[in-house]
Amino acid sequence: MAATDMVMANMATTATTATMAMEMVIMAMARTAKMKKARVRAVERSANTSTGNNRHHSHHHRRKKSLHRRIRHWLLHHKKRAAVTAVICLAAAAALGFLAYRNQQKQASMQIRAGNSHDVGNGFRELTYKGKKYRYNSLVKTILYAGIDEEGILKSSKQYGNKGRADTIAVVVFDKQSRKISVLSINRDTMTQIRRYSLNGNDNGLYTSHIGYAYSYGDGGKASCENLREAVSLLLGGIPIADYIVTSQASMPYINDLVGGITLTVPNSDLEARYPEMAEGSTITLDDSNIETYLRYRDTDEDFSNEGRLQRQKAYATAYINKLREMSTGDLEDKWTDLSNMEDYLQTSITRNKYLDLVSLIQDLEFSDENYDQLAGQDQQGELHDEFIPDEDALQEEIIKLFYEEV
């Protein structure tokens, strides 16, 4: 239920409660008056029996007049009390309605803490763009990969916020229909909608910021992963992200060793001045001694230096996927144990059975560097940090290319 709907529902509940309270007060007044009148009549009947009709008749008028005055006096006296009671009931009902609304918010927040992703709806299933209609390809499986700028282990905490930032974000798409693997790299500085939480985990709603901060606003565990998954899904028009793999800096040597190291050609000159062996065009083999430098280094004094790092990461990811495809099915299946040994530096929703399914897909589907795209857009300087503004048309065309088929 939307926040506006909840507020309207609570206002309606409050009004109903107040009305019921007023009715109860009026009914109580009527009952009390009726009881008083009955008692007076009982006294009059008793007097009539003992003194005779004439005496009773004269006395009766005095009693009746007194009764009217007493009832009028009671009503005047209790109207004020009834008004005060009604106000108190109205205030209490309003307070109860507000508490119910806050409780609904808290329950929604607790769902996020438990790791339940936000429902992005089914609007993604059909798409119309530039006069053409498209249908979502149900034969695609999408996995989110993110590298977090945390040096130590990845673990959740009760306090939200100030967690690591996603330095590397990529969506890997396994398409059984086209029989190919595609990768979409997303700049960490991409400005898009992300969900923000208070320190105690209350949902503060969506707002525009760097997509890399989506992980940072979570709990450092499952909630952070789910928050990043939602941000990527929203950026891609609500496309469902089946699973995620999130790793820390400390995982790099382990990941590299899984395939026995990677040999590649350095695509740019970003590292040349500081690391001559990594000059543009050089062929290098990445191992425990240089893997982090190659994948993570950027000149923080230079604007938009993340772009050069993305180029190097693309070269590495392309070589890595190709090497995975060269491995035998048996060798790939055995790597599950190695992944389990690095659980302190890895967070994932992928189970062993899902992993075995991925092994089959990696073996069966085709991949080339032509299937590795980087989200198009424009770099600009923000108030505090570099910002990347996606090209809306290019983004829409990329979404259609990866996830849709023309009707």
Considering the domain architecture, whether residues 59 and 157 belong to the same structural domain is answered as: no
pTM: 0.70
Considering the domain architecture, whether residues 277 and 299 belong to the same structural domain is answered as: yes
Considering the domain architecture, whether residues 267 and 331 belong to the same structural domain is answered as: yes
Considering the domain architecture, whether residues 166 and 210 belong to the same structural domain is answered as: yes
Considering the domain architecture, whether residues 236 and 92 belong to the same structural domain is answered as: no
Residue found under tokens 């209790």: 78
Considering the domain architecture, whether residues 264 and 397 belong to the same structural domain is answered as: yes
Say which CATH number the domain at 302 has: 3.40.630.190
Residue 233 lies in a domain: yes
Domain count of the fold of the chain: 2
Considering the domain architecture, whether residues 107 and 204 belong to the same structural domain is answered as: no
Considering the domain architecture, whether residues 108 and 127 belong to the same structural domain is answered as: no
Considering the domain architecture, whether residues 263 and 216 belong to the same structural domain is answered as: yes
Residue 66 lies in a domain: yes
Residue 347 lies in a domain: yes
Residue 118 lies in a domain: no
Asked which of 113, 148, 174 is the last residue of a domain, the reply is 113
Considering the domain architecture, whether residues 299 and 401 belong to the same structural domain is answered as: yes
Asked which of 113, 136, 163 is the last residue of a domain, the reply is 113
Residue 42 lies in a domain: yes
Residue 289 lies in a domain: yes
Considering the domain architecture, whether residues 180 and 229 belong to the same structural domain is answered as: yes
In tens digits, the chain (407 residues) has pLDDT values of: 444 444 444 444 444 444 454 455 445 555 555 555 555 455 455 545 444 444 444 444 444 455 556 655 555 555 556 555 555 656 655 555 555 444 444 434 333 333 334 455 677 889 999 999 999 999 999 999 999 998 888 999 999 998 999 999 999 999 999 999 999 999 999 999 999 999 999 999 999 999 999 999 999 999 999 999 999 999 999 999 999 999 999 999 999 999 999 999 999 999 999 999 999 999 999 999 999 999 998 887 787 888 899 999 999 999 999 999 999 999 999 999 888 888 899 999 999 999 999 999 999 999 998 999 999 999 998 888 889 999 999 999 999 999 999 99
Asked which of 58, 80, 113 is the last residue of a domain, the reply is 113
Considering the domain architecture, whether residues 330 and 390 belong to the same structural domain is answered as: yes
> Whole domain around residue 104: which residue ranges?
3-113
Q: Assign 3-class secondary structure to the chain.
A: CCHHHHHHHHHHHHHHHHHHHHHHHHHHHHHHHHHHHHHHHHHHHHHHHHHCHHHHHHHHHHHHHHHHHHHHHHHHHHHHHHHHHHHHHHHHHHHHHHHHHHHHHHHHHHHHHCCCCCCCCCHHHEEEECCEEEEECCCEEEEEEEEECCCCCCCCCCCCCCCCCEEEEEEEEEECCCCEEEEEEECCCEEEEEEEECCCCCEEEEEEEECCHHHHCCCCCHHHHHHHHHHHHHHCCCCCCCEEEEECHHHHHHHHHHCCCEEEECCCCCCCCCCHHHCCCCEEEECCCCHHHHHHCCCCCCCCCHHHHHHHHHHHHHHHHHHHHHCCHHHHHHHHHHHHHCHHHEEECCCHHHHHHHHHHHHHCECCHHHEEECCEEEEECCCCEEEEECHHHHHHHHHHHHEEEC
